[in-house]
A = this chain, B = another copy of it.
Amino acid sequence: DFLAALEEVPPAFGVSEAELQQCVQNHIIPFSPHIEQILADGKLYVDQVRQSSRTPVVSLLVHGPAGSGKTAIAATIALESEFPFIKLISPETMVGMTESAKIAEISKVFNDSYKSPLSVIVIDNIERLVDWVPIGPRFSNAILQAILVLIKKKPPKDRRLLIVGTTTERNVLDQMDMADAFNSQIYVPTITTLEGIDIVLQQLGLFSDAERKRTMSLLSQAGMENKIAIGVKKLLMVIEMARQDADKIEKFVNTLISL
């Protein structure tokens, strides 16, 4: 039965660990308590899949503003499950494929997962996978329909699956009846406090401690306390740009203020 099947699977079967590791290249910096809460929730869903036979498929939509860290978080949940089958479906590996080749690829990942007792599939950047563009609007209905069906499809007996999707366009997915097709949703916020900025700066080592304090006080004087709302990915970019400049503090502070 289920436990027996679990043992038969060679541990490394179907893991795309390298690709997923690359998504957390700059680690998960705990810039606010939300981040820890999100990862804890993720573990609960992993447990449900591992233990309940009544809900063999559980699906989770990770959404939030551009650059807020959705992909890194989805990858972290997937990697920490240590399930024998962990796969990433991403538009980046499908550039230039025809619509039907993309659907075949997506289907294959699901069919492969049905061979493992426990699986996680990360579907990254769903709006891009379905070729969404707001002008028109236009999108690939064929890919959309395939995903809609696959995330609700029950795996065969004694097979269990966690699906983690990510998107910047939750409203769009809502209008496509896709948000509803997920069992749960997790919101990933931007950094909205100076403390959050401070934590990231500390981690990245752009400034000495003195410089960092000056920076924070400059931002505070500029009244940024209640105005800040920057994705962690964008913040990393600003930090690296500032690093090239002669006057790093000025560059960093000015860029943040002018956003």
Question: Which A residues fall within an 8 A CB radius of B?
Answer: 22, 25-26, 44-45, 47-48, 51-52, 54-55, 58, 66, 91-92, 95-96, 98, 100, 103-104, 107, 128, 131, 133-139, 141-142, 144-146, 148-150, 152-154, 157, 172, 175-177, 180, 183, 204, 236-237, 239-241, 243-245
A96: chain B residues within 8 A (beta carbon):
100, 103-104, 107, 146
Known interface pairs A44-B244, A52-B240, A66-B180; A107-B95 also in contact (CB < 8 Å): yes
Copy number in the complex reads 6
| Residue in B92, B131, B135, B240 whose beta carbon sits within 8 Å of that of A153 in the complex | B92
> What would be 23 A-B contacts, judged by CB atoms less than 8 Å apart?
A25-B154, A44-B244, A44-B245, A48-B243, A54-B240, A55-B236, A58-B237, A66-B180, A91-B149, A92-B149, A92-B153, A95-B107, A95-B150, A96-B100, A128-B148, A128-B149, A133-B141, A133-B176, A133-B177, A134-B175, A135-B175, A136-B141, A138-B141
| Residue in B48, B66, B128, B180 whose beta carbon sits within 8 Å of that of A240 in the complex | B48
- Give the shortest distance, in Å, between A138 (CB) and chain B (any CB): 5
